[in-house]
Amino acid sequence: MIDPAPTTSPDIGVVVGDGRGLAGSRRGWAGVALAAALLVAGCAGGRQLLAREEVPQDMNWRRVATVQDRTRLREWRTGWIDALAVARAGGDSAAIAVDPTLYDPDRALGGAALPAGRYRCRMVKLGGKGPATPAVMQGGWTGCAVRDDAGRRTLSIDGQQRYHGDLFDHDDARQVFLGTVALGDETRALPYGRDARRDAAGYLERIGKARWRLILPYPGFDATLDVVEIVPIG
């Protein structure tokens, strides 16, 4: 297991629970209310991340990924198990049980490739790191987009923590995402590999007829695992 970053950030989602259960989360609500309000504002049409300057790139993800991110990807299952254990220990089993498809680590169907186009995305942060961080944080729906450019495919996710990066072929059940996260009012993503704390690596999986998820084990902020649900607009 790796733990590449601090336990908290200024940009977190809507609180579902914490390490002391739902009752404990009420005591911490004031500390996260402002961040939650910012996330909700973003859902209603917040700042759209401007892509970093695009440059030609090797399309073999194994040659592109940093050592840290290769470790994250190898430890994806451990990340799932650890994150779910923290969520359930915090009294949030009901939040997990309400959507077993989304939270099933082995739910990865064939045909994972996400077609180019615009989508809706929703982030859930599982397994809060540290006693002051809720065990489950669920954000509202935001915009996201997949773009193709001369064989290169990029994914951009709007919100308070905005991901932008490349999608790489892996196998029929998964694509690999390598990118970075922008925070607050930042308007451009950092180049991948420049700041280990901002780098992000994960797997894109199809979990339904027109439903995908991006799993990001051991992200740089707040959680043990970020899960981004992705569905078509409309």
Examine residue 119 and state whether it is found in any structural domain, yes or no.
Answer: yes
Examine residue 99 and state whether it is found in any structural domain, yes or no.
Answer: yes
pLDDT digits (tens, 9 = 90+) for 125-182: 998 877 777 888 888 999 999 999 877 899 999 988 889 999 999 999 999 999 999 8
Q: Please count the other Cβ atoms lying within 10 Å of the Cβ belonging to residue 156.
A: 21
Total domains present in the chain: 1
pLDDT digits (tens, 9 = 90+) for 48-75: 444 444 554 677 899 999 999 999 999 9
pLDDT, position 221: 81
pLDDT, position 57: 63
pLDDT, position 2: 54
Please check whether residue 70 is in contact with residue 62, taking contact to mean a CB–CB distance below 8 angstroms: yes
Cα–Cα distance for residue pair 139/217, rounded to 1 Å: 17
Examine residue 7 and state whether it is found in any structural domain, yes or no.
Answer: no
For strands 117-126 and 199-208, give the pairing. Answer: unpaired
Residue from 102, 231, 127, 115 nearest 175 by CA: 115
Question: In sequence order, what DSSP letters do the residues of the chain get, joined into one string?
Answer: ----S-S--S---EEEE-TT-HHHHHHHHHHHHHHHHHHHHHHTT-PPPBPPPP----S-HHHHS-HHHHHHHHTHHHHHHHHHHHHHHTT-HHHHHT-TTTT-TT--BS-----SEEEEEEEEEES-SSTTS-SEEEEEEEEEEEEEETTEEEEEE-SSEEEEEEEEEEETTEEEEEEEEEETT--BPPPTTS-TTTEEEEEEEEEETTEEEEEEES-SSS-SEEEEEEEE--
Examine residue 169 and state whether it is found in any structural domain, yes or no.
Answer: yes
pLDDT, position 35: 38
Examine residue 2 and state whether it is found in any structural domain, yes or no.
Answer: no
Examine residue 6 and state whether it is found in any structural domain, yes or no.
Answer: no
Examine residue 31 and state whether it is found in any structural domain, yes or no.
Answer: yes
Residue 219 is part of which domain span?
14-232
The pTM (predicted TM-score) of the whole model is 0.77
Residues 6+ apart with CB under 8 A from 37: none
Examine residue 170 and state whether it is found in any structural domain, yes or no.
Answer: yes
99: which 2 tokens? Answer: 């959507």
